[in-house]
Amino acid sequence: MNDTILPFLSGLHPYDGLPEHVRIQTSDAFRAISLAANEPIYTFGAPLDGLYIIRSGRVEVRDGSGSIVSLLERGNSFGERGLMRDGLAATSAKTLTPAELLCLPRETFDRLRAEQPSFARFFNRGQGDGDDARPADFASVRVDALMVPDPVSCPPATSIAEAAKMMRDRRISCLCISEDSELLGLVTLRDLVSKALADGLDTDTPISKIMTPNPRTLPPSALGSDVLHLMAEHRLGHLPVVENGALVGILTQTDLTRFQSTTSVGLVAEAARTDSVQGLAKATSGIPKMLAQLVAAGHRHDVITRTITDVADVVTRRLLSLAEEQLGPPPGRYLWLACGSQGRQEQTGVSDQDNCLILEDDLDERARGYFEQLATFVSDGLHTCGYVYCPGDMMATNPRWCQPISVWRDYFAHWIANPSKEAQMLASVMFDLRPIGGDETLWNGLQRDTLDRAAGNSIFTAHMATNALSHGTPLGLLRGFATIRSGEHRDKIDMKLSGVVPVVDLGRMYALQGKLEPANTRARLEAALAERVISPGGGRDLLDAYDLVAETRLKHQAAQIRRGEAPDNFMSPASLSDFERSHLRNAFVVIKTMQSALMQGRGILG
């Protein structure tokens, strides 16, 4: 079997990074197993023989309560969490189809973790059955931990013949074209065939003639979900990694095969390729199930909400494309932006739409009519896809929020100079804007100018601080909770309005005070800590409190989804254990303390 196992492992991470002699020894240690469909592999709490890898077929993994954790395919591994604890299975696994499995004995697995740092890093970062196959776990991994560093590159003057030889000799499928470490373009094997060979180009032709100039890139700090979603949306097979303008790594579709799944990546791919609003609605209908699976897998709340928001972003961009196909090319530059939870990349299972349009100046009435139709098409499409119309009409269909860039500058200048109650509310919403589709140059200068202007106006920041304290935490007397007193949600806590929103407001205030550009709440808190806008102790406590509150909210929604109910934000404290209630109350105490510090001027250091 070694003759077939070794080649299989050589193309599978993390085995492809092992020294050759270690990889050979490891291939000899694997035991091959053939199973029929619907056959159990192991059950929850049973002793584990070792780590399992799928060579063919599909496997279902469930947690101790019977909820599906993941659906795995060729190249995916499972069983590692039990091996890394007490040797007992932390999940149950069975085949869905006839399957060929490989089992690595526990002693070999333990030895590799002890002796091979790259192998240990790979399994230590997930610690969950099937984690390495799920985009949720992949989503929490930074790109710099996944990329191939120092990719093969050549200058633009390199001949096609020389470039082809480099790719053949290095056994690579793409070549980065760079000069002085700056990425200029990308050439793939497909380019050599379709652009050089098919067109009969002379082999002395510079490689720059067939390269894709200015390819899409990501920074090393991006998340793995950003990689998968960018590749799925734009059908990319290769993605350079660039930091401060310099090429530092490369990621290919082959590298990421083990992370493919039927959850977020599948929804993004489905949304990016559909030609109808109904097709988009079909894709978004899978979001509740995805949320429940991600929560069951134990992932951080900000990874889950970012993954869910990625789907909304792709749906929005696809609707913009469909609108242009129906209405014709746009008569001027525009930028579609999201605010609210989509703008902050914090969408859950309950999200309405909040959006606006920035247009270039000096458009005529005919052009304005075009963008009114575009806004209606996209907003109606989002509503069909489950992102219901904003109750406050904060949408691009409202003429007030579909304006030229000069009007938007006047809006922000007026709100900052005249901080009325409405101005505070509008500024709070608009400070969470994030570009989704269109010409982003319409936004860059506006964001920086607005932050500078707002931070420099002490009266405005004082009013914004007061506004940030308008949402109280649900703290009651005698270490209890102040629940809703009447109506449909009596005896429950609004985990959005009384739980998450107070921290969102604090994060926005810190971002304003420190001129911080992130829109995401957790990113704002981290940036405020890094820039010492808030004290280290208070900032860390607030981060921990926010994580607990946001995680509790998502668990509540996931439980509703598993019961077949529509998710909401109204949670009964009685559904929690005494331990959970105690910690949740402590989290609300921290949030209230930071609100008080802001009120007294002690939460801001500057």
Query: What is the chain's percent helix, strand, coil content, to nearest 5?
Result: 50, 15, 35
What's the token pair of residue 385? 């896809």
pLDDT of residue 51: 93
3-state secondary structure 213-240: ECCCCECCCCEHHHHHHHHHHHCCCEEE
Q: How many CB atoms lie within 10 A of CB 259?
A: 25
pLDDT of residue 600: 76
Closest CA to 267 of 258, 280, 253: 280
Distance between CA atoms of residues 63 and 115, nearest Å: 30
Q: Is pLDDT above 70 for 513?
A: yes
Choose between 598 and 257: higher pLDDT.
598
What's the token pair of residue 31? 């035991």
pLDDT of residue 606: 40
The per-residue pLDDT for range 62-98, each reduced to its tens digit, is: 766 565 556 677 778 888 878 887 788 878 899 988 9
Q: Is pLDDT above 70 for 211?
A: yes
Check: CB of residue 210 under 8 Å from CB of residue 154: no
pLDDT of residue 221: 82
pTM of model > 0.95: no
Sort 515 into a burial class: Cβ within 10 Å, 0-12 / 13-18 / 19+. middle
Q: By mean pLDDT, which of 11-20, 301-310, 438-447 is the weakest?
A: 11-20
3-state DSSP assignment of residue 397? coil
Distance between CA atoms of residues 433 and 570, nearest Å: 26
Distance between CA atoms of residues 217 and 251, nearest Å: 10
Check: CB of residue 542 under 8 Å from CB of residue 525: yes
**DSSP code of residue 463:** H
Q: By mean pLDDT, which of 34-48, 130-144, 369-383 is the weakest?
A: 130-144
Share of the chain above pLDDT 70, in %: 90
In sequence order, what DSSP letters do the residues of 250-280 get, joined into one string?
EEETTTTGGG--SSHHHHHHHHHH--SHHHH
Q: Is pLDDT above 70 for 603?
A: no
Average pLDDT taken over every residue of the chain:
86
pLDDT band at 309 (very low <50, low <70, confident <90, very high): very high
Query: What number is the average pLDDT over the span 368-389?
Result: 96
* Chain position carrying tokens 């097709």: 279
Closest CA to 532 of 509, 510, 502: 510
3-state DSSP assignment of residue 602? coil
Check: CB of residue 319 under 8 Å from CB of residue 281: no
**DSSP code of residue 388:** B
pLDDT of residue 1: 43
Query: How many residues are there in the chain?
Result: 606
The per-residue pLDDT for range 124-167, each reduced to its tens digit, is: 644 434 333 343 455 556 787 678 888 999 999 999 999 999 99
The per-residue pLDDT for range 538-547, each reduced to its tens digit, is: 999 999 999 9
Q: How many CB atoms lie within 10 A of CB 160?
A: 23
The per-residue pLDDT for range 247-300, each reduced to its tens digit, is: 999 998 766 654 444 356 677 778 877 889 999 999 899 899 888 878 876 778
Query: What number is the average pLDDT over the span 339-347?
Result: 93
pLDDT of residue 133: 34
Check: CB of residue 359 under 8 Å from CB of residue 374: no
Query: What number is the average pLDDT over the span 368-395?
Result: 95
pLDDT of residue 414: 92
Type and span of the H or E element at 174: strand 174-179
pLDDT of residue 489: 93
Query: What number is the average pLDDT over the span 193-204?
Result: 92
Choose between 425 and 605: higher pLDDT.
425
Q: Is pLDDT above 90 for 598?
A: no
Check: CB of residue 386 under 8 Å from CB of residue 281: yes
Q: Where are the strands (E) in 283-421, listed by range?
A: 334-338, 355-359, 402-404
Q: Is pLDDT above 50 for 586?
A: yes
User: Alpha-carbon Rg of the chain, whole angstroms?
Assistant: 26
Query: What number is the average pLDDT over the span 505-534?
Result: 90
pLDDT of residue 13: 72
